[in-house]
C-alpha cells in the first residue's frame, strides 16, 4: 500500500468520524431549540459521509450538487444503496440551503427530529457500505 493509499484511508476514517461527531452537535442544537442550525448540521453530517464515499471511489468535486448527483447516479440508480437515501440527502440539502440562504425560515421540532433520525440512518448506511466494500 502506498503512502497515498494510506492517506486516503485515514481521510475516509476522518470523514466518517466527522459525520458521527456531527450527531452530538445536532443533539445539542435540538436541545437548545436551535433548529435552523440543527438542519445545517444534519445535512453536513450526511455530506461528510458522502465525502468518505467519494474518497473511496476517487471522485473529486468541490460542488455539493455534483457530489449528490454522483451518489445518486453511481449508487442509487445502480441499486447498490436503497433509493430512499437519495431522497433523504436531497431533501436535507434543499432544507439546509433554504435555512442558510432564505429569509425568515423556521423549522418545526418534529421535522428536525425526523431529519436527525434520517441522518443517523444515512451515515450508518454509508459507513456499512464502505466497510463491506473493502
Give pLDDT tens digits for 76-122.
999 999 999 999 999 999 999 998 898 888 999 999 999 999 999 99
How many domains is the chain partitioned into structurally? 1
**What's residue 1's pLDDT?**
45
pTM above 0.85, yes or no: yes
User: 15: domain CATH number?
Assistant: 1.20.120.330
Q: Which domain holds residue 60?
A: 3-132
What distance lies between CA 110 and its chain's CA centroid? 20
**Full 3-state SS string of the chain:** CCHHHHHHHHHHHHHHHHHHHHHHHHHHHHHCCCHHHHHHHHHHHHHHHHHHHHHHCCCCCCCHHHHHHHHHHHHHCCCCCCHHHHHHHHHHHHHHHHHHHCCCCCCCHHHHHHHHHHHHHHHHHHHHHHHHCC
Write down the pLDDT at residue 6. 83
Average pLDDT along the chain: 94
The pLDDT assigned to 62 comes to 87
Amino acid at each position: 500500500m502506498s503512502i497515498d493509499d494510506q492517506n486516503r484511508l485515514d481521510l475516509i476514517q476522518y470523514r466518517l468520524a466527522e459525520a458521527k461527531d456531527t450527531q452530538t452537535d445536532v443533539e445539542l442544537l435540538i436541545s437548545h431549540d436551535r433548529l435552523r442550525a440543527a438542519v445545517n448540521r444534519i445535512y453536513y453530517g450526511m455530506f461528510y459521509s458522502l465525502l468518505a464515499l467519494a474518497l473511496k471511489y476517487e471522485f473529486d468535486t468541490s460542488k455539493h450538487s455534483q457530489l449528490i448527483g454522483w451518489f445518486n447516479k453511481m449508487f442509487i440508480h445502480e441499486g447498490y444503496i436503497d433509493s430512499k437515501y437519495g431522497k433523504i440527502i436531497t431533501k436535507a440539502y434543499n432544507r439546509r440551503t433554504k435555512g442558510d440562504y432564505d429569509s425568515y425560515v423556521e423549522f418545526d421540532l418534529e421535522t428536525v427530529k425526523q431529519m436527525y433520525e434520517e441522518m443517523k440512518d444515512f451515515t450508518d448506511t454509508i459507513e456499512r457500505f464502505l466497510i463491506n466494500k473493502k
